[in-house]
């Protein structure tokens, strides 16, 4: 571990302190480490590295044809889909988690198509670079 000094404008320091509080980081150093790692991972995604990911979809399962459309899209990208899990949240709403592996741009393309399906309430893709 190396120590170094950082100079920040007052408003940027306030935003950093807000991040520390919001994420319950023990100190500013931990927040800075988090931000650097996050930035580096995003840069690797942009270079289209091999990644793994999880796509979370929340939707009303009563929406006509929705589940068939989601399945059809996943079949078009079958080489990226490792597995999926369907959970009944309540009488109307379901959550599907889809575990993925492949090039970052391909995972993002698949996620964008699934999230855009009419009837999706919420969708979010989380990716991590394979070491």
> Would 1 be classed as within a structural domain?
no
> Would 5 be classed as within a structural domain?
no
> Would 101 be classed as within a structural domain?
yes
Residues 75, 126, 24: CA angle, nearest 5 degrees: 160
Q: What is the pLDDT along the chain (131 residues), one digit of tens a residue?
A: 888 888 889 999 999 999 899 989 899 999 998 888 888 877 776 777 889 999 999 999 899 999 999 999 999 999 999 999 999 999 999 999 999 999 989 999 999 999 999 999 999 999 988 66
Domain span at 36: 10-46
- 56/108 Cα distance (integer angstroms): 13
pLDDT of residue 131: 63
User: In terms of domains, do 55 and 42 share one?
Assistant: no
Q: What's the total number of domains in the chain?
A: 2
- 129/68 Cα distance (integer angstroms): 30
């Amino acid at each position: 571990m190396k120590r170094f000094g950082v100079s920040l404008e007052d408003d940027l320091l306030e935003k950093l302190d807000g991040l520390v509080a919001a994420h319950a980081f023990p100190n500013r150093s931990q927040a800075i480490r988090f931000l650097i790692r996050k930035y580096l991972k995003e840069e690797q995604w942009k270079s289209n590295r091999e990644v793994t990911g999880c796509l979370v979809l929340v939707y009303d399962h009563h929406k006509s044809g929705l589940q068939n459309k989601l399945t059809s899209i996943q079949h078009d990208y079958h080489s990226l889909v490792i597995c999926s899990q369907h959970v009944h949240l309540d009488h109307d709403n379901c959550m599907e988690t889809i575990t993925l592996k492949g090039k970052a741009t391909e995972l993002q393309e698949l996620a964008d198509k699934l999230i855009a399906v009419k009837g999706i309430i919420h969708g979010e893709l989380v990716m991590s670079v394979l070491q």
